[in-house]
Amino acid sequence: MAGFVDPATFRRGLAEAETRTARIEIGGEARGTGFLVAPEFILTNWHVVKNGVCGAVARFDRSTISGGRSVAFAENWDVAHSPHDSEANEQCPDGPPEGTWDFALVRLAEPVGAQAIGPDPADGAADRRGYYRLDWGYYEFKPAEPLLIVGHPEGGPIQLSYASPAGARTTIAGNRVRYDTNTAPGSSGSPVFNGDFRIIALHHAWGMGAGPGLFNQGVPVFGIGKALREGLSGSPELTKLGLT
């Protein structure tokens, strides 16, 4: 059984996800999704940004009634990243080995997470946007639990998808998690939440398994945390991310 969720927790979690998740646009085209993990840092997939970020922005608050607010990437935008593996390794039952986590930690030109929600970042009467202080500890995925994804599928307005149960199962190597929650192109870089709105994975791709049907696949947050600790050892960015 998938269990229950407190309605207040769900409302709060969804409201935070709506304001802390952004559409990644490069050269005026939607390329994926990202979410705030510090006032000026967003987390997305490396494959979303690896081919260049000329004119790149993170567009927050993009909905069916609002065009949202765009925040440019900083000049020194690439704080840390890890590549993805070959398609064959990503889709096989073993999954890829350690070292290919397909994430990019991106620095924005403004500390949008500390600013006001809405078109005026200096609006003293508006609520602050906030950002996620991720729990980087190990997480045991359970097939019966619900998993929710908030992102920009097909480059459109922000959307919520969910599956309960989501059939979460890790690859044999343990470095990817597969689930039945729906996604589409543009969902890459979306946060994957459990029923308590803890971010437990970074959505990465879809694939075709050895048996019938498709699966969606994410990168476990604890693996990204391990890679960041190694790659940013001694850096002040680790403190901002809650990794010290």
How far is the C-alpha of 88 from the C-alpha of 209, rounded, in Å?
Answer: 11
Q: For residue range 148-184, what is the model confidence (pLDDT) as tens digits?
A: 999 999 999 999 999 999 999 999 999 999 999 999 9
pTM of the model: 0.94
Residues 6+ apart with CB under 8 A from 12: 197
Residues 6+ apart with CB under 8 A from 49: 24, 26, 31, 56, 81, 104, 106
Asked, as a colleague might, if the bond just before 165 is cis with ω within 30 of 0, I would say yes
Q: 5 pLDDT band (50/70/90 cuts)?
A: confident
Q: For residue range 63-115, what is the model confidence (pLDDT) as tens digits?
A: 766 788 999 999 999 999 999 999 889 988 899 988 899 999 999 999 999 99
Q: Hey, what amino acid is at 102?
A: D
Residues 6+ apart with CB under 8 A from 206: 183, 214, 215, 216, 217
Could you tell me which CATH class the domain 7-240 is placed in? mainly beta
Name the average pLDDT for the chain: 92
Lookup result for tokens 């080995």: 97
Domain ranges of the chain: 7-240
Average pLDDT (53-60) is 97
